[in-house]
Amino acid sequence: KLGLFGDYMDVFKGIPFAAPTKTLEDPQPHPGWPGTLQAKDYQKRCLQSTLTQTDVRGSEDCLYLNIWVPQGKKQVSTNLPVMIWIYGGAFIWGGGQGANFLNNYLYDGEEIASRGKVIVVTFNYRLGPLGFLSTGDKALPGNYGLKDQHMAIAWVKRNIKNFGGDPDNITIFGESAGAVSVSLQTLSPYNKGLIKRAISQSGVGLCPWAIQKDPLFWAIKIAQKVGCPTDNTTVLADCLRITDPKTLTLAYHLDVINLRYPLVHYLAFTPVVDGDFIPDDPKNLFANAADVDYLLGINDMDGHFFASIDLPAINRPLVKITPENLYRIIQGLTVEKGSTGANEAYAIYTQMWSNTEDQEVMKRTVVDLETDYIFLVPTQRALQLHQENAKSAKTYSYLFSEPSRMPVYPKWVGADHADEIQYVFGKPFATPLAMIAYWTNFARTGDPNKGESNVPIAWVPYDNENGFYLEINHKINYQSVKQGLRTLYVNFWNVVYPLCMHTLGTGSKPLSEPSPDSGTGPRSSPTSSLSRVCRQLHWLPTTLQRSRIPASLWIGENIPTLPVKSSPLIFWGKKNGCLAVQV
């Protein structure tokens, strides 16, 4: 077809990259086809519930991909960089073509391919119970959706040269669950040598919702709903494999009304540490990505979508929220630490409040809290780990802050979850186009500043010492290069919060109510948070013969008793005790 700028664009839709799937089994290579394949139409997305969760759409035969190849006016393209898109949707919904409005598909790769002179690939992968149900053992190891993704990446590696692509210059990029998938694919030993670069938009493998830590709990729930025995995982697995796939899909229902816990806890069917494809906790696997250039970031109000479900009054100007509303959400996010964790988090998130009647401040605080917990903090940790392990690889960090275009949102709402996608794919009226320039330059060279496209400002690489990041919006200029994204809150979650004494069991599933001592409202104390934490940990008494000693000496003496790095040390407190010192 004729492209956007007078050049030609070759588009291939519905190419099978694996055989039709079998229920709860690993994907298998496609046997091929006789004659010529007519790759003109999108194929059905993988079987999933409708948004109302009352019916299903899609097919089990769904492992197909789509390719956009920009051609010159007279010459055929060769050795082009390749960008493989992995869609999001909470590992429950989605498809390689994305949402459709008047035959304009969200994940249409033409704009990126044409402007950036890159090949764009999108594909389907299995979702929900069919993609991620696991018993936590060999009976149903899980990660079928991740293995589908790997099959697509491997197919592109083997075949993209025939389409004019460079098989040694493949970038995978994705958003939300797709961004988590990107992260996990770079960490999996199965992809060694397949991936040159990666881009994660609002999600990494360290997110609290990225890994299901108790998959058997959810497998049993599904088995009970469809009438399978649950006392033996092998029997359970055999039964589920012969159950109608549509029945399995509808057996999981994501409630979004009157939740007892924050929504993030109910994302049940996600990747698992299976000892194989994901051999260990993702935080221990970053050496596998030492040679993969990594660009990652979040939207400044990524948590707004989640906060508006947890507390619908967020988007209702005439409905007020209270400090107790914030505290209850904090309780839900800090269940494993009980009242200690909740009180510490409440103290830091409300320390700047001067007037508890200011509804905008209070509602923004809820959004900031969920943005930090669900997206920002794990993303910052992933940046640090990638940079620490990187050999030849580069690391780049961004914050997307173009205000949401949703007319029903309050005016103070910034960039909500998934708001950046329209800018990455160049949808109509979605300016600036800087994201396409940065993204495709990065895919071409590993440097978002160098490539076929001009960029408005130089993007400084991330390093752990300076914490550089680029803030992206339509006002982007030299002041958009910044440092230390919400450092106080990141340090709280990474340094202080882990030291809180836990009072409840850990786990990613909402199994029990907070314990009686968790309280029903916010509690704080004039004593610094760090001193409370130290006292609860029962650290060693000082051996110095003084009644009072400098905190730095005391910490320096006692910190070796903890399994954490000893430098830099961060002292954290509230109000007058809020001071950060490197020792």
CB distance 172 to 188 below 8 Å:
no
Quote the pLDDT of residue 101.
73
**For the chain, how many helices (H) and strands (E)?**
17, 14
355 versus 166: the higher-pLDDT residue is 166
Q: Over range 365-391, report the average pLDDT.
A: 97
Q: Over range 503-527, report the average pLDDT.
A: 41
- Catalytic entry in 49, 134, 176, 404: 176
Whether the predicted pLDDT of 350 surpasses 80: yes
User: Cα separations (Å) of 301 from 205, 404, 459, 476?
Assistant: 20, 9, 22, 18
Burial annotation 50-69 (CB, 10 A radius, 16+ → b, else e) = eeebeebebbbebbbbbbbb
Whether the predicted pLDDT of 150 surpasses 50: yes
Residues 6+ apart with CB under 8 A from 552: 569, 571, 581, 583
500 versus 566: the higher-pLDDT residue is 500
Quote the pLDDT of residue 540.
35
Q: Over range 191-220, report the average pLDDT.
A: 98
Whether the predicted pLDDT of 215 surpasses 80: yes
Quote the pLDDT of residue 7.
74
Task: Tell me the pLDDT of the chain averaged across its residues.
Answer: 87
Q: How many CB atoms lie within 10 A of CB 433?
A: 14
Quote the pLDDT of residue 430.
61
- Lowest mean pLDDT across 39-53, 375-389, 524-538: 524-538
Whether the predicted pLDDT of 431 surpasses 80: no
246 versus 507: the higher-pLDDT residue is 246
Q: Over range 540-564, report the average pLDDT.
A: 48
Does the annotation count 502 as an active-site position?
A: no
Q: Over range 279-287, report the average pLDDT.
A: 98
The length of the chain, given as a count of residues? 583
Residues 6+ apart with CB under 8 A from 444: 81, 116, 117, 118, 169, 450, 451, 452
Q: Over range 206-213, report the average pLDDT.
A: 97
Quote the pLDDT of residue 5.
59
Whether the predicted pLDDT of 61 surpasses 50: yes
Whether the predicted pLDDT of 549 surpasses 80: no
| Confidence band of 100 (pLDDT split at 50, 70, 90) | confident
Q: Which of 370, 127, 145 has the alpha carbon at shortest distance from 278?
A: 145
CB distance 121 to 108 below 8 Å:
no
User: Cα separations (Å) of 384 from 178, 273, 467?
Assistant: 21, 21, 9
| Confidence band of 93 (pLDDT split at 50, 70, 90) | very high
Whether the predicted pLDDT of 70 surpasses 90: yes
- Catalytic entry in 108, 148, 300, 302: 302
Does the annotation count 176 as an active-site position?
A: yes
CA distance 185 to 564: 27
Give the tens place of pLDDT for each residue, 2-38: 556 557 899 999 999 999 999 999 999 999 988 999 9
Name the residue with tokens 């069991």. Answer: 505
- In order, the DSSP letters of 346-393 are HHHHHTT-S-TT-HHHHHHHHHHHHHIIIIIHHHHHHHHHHHHH-SS-
Whether the predicted pLDDT of 468 surpasses 50: yes
- Lowest mean pLDDT across 301-310, 406-415, 447-456: 406-415
Whether the predicted pLDDT of 273 surpasses 60: yes
- Per domain, the residue ranges of the chain are 8-310+372-499
CB distance 349 to 369 below 8 Å:
yes
Q: Over range 298-313, report the average pLDDT.
A: 97
Give the tens place of pLDDT for each residue, 217-262: 999 999 999 999 999 999 999 999 999 999 999 999 988 888 899 9
Whether the predicted pLDDT of 569 surpasses 80: no
- Catalytic entry in 200, 386, 417, 508: 417
> Which pTM does this prediction carry?
0.87
The percentage of residues in the chain with a pLDDT greater than 90, rounded to a whole number, is 75
Instruction: Give pairs for 345-353: CB < 8 Å, separation 24+.
Output: 345/369, 345/492, 345/497, 346/522, 346/523, 346/524, 347/524, 347/529, 347/574, 348/488, 348/489, 348/492, 348/529, 348/574, 349/489, 350/323, 350/326, 350/522, 350/524, 351/574, 351/575, 351/578
Burial of 183 (0-12, 13-18, 19+ CB in 10 A): buried
447 versus 517: the higher-pLDDT residue is 447
Quote the pLDDT of residue 287.
97
| Confidence band of 428 (pLDDT split at 50, 70, 90) | low
Whether the predicted pLDDT of 517 surpasses 60: no
Does the annotation count 518 as an active-site position?
A: no
Which CATH code fits 8-310+372-499?
3.40.50.1820
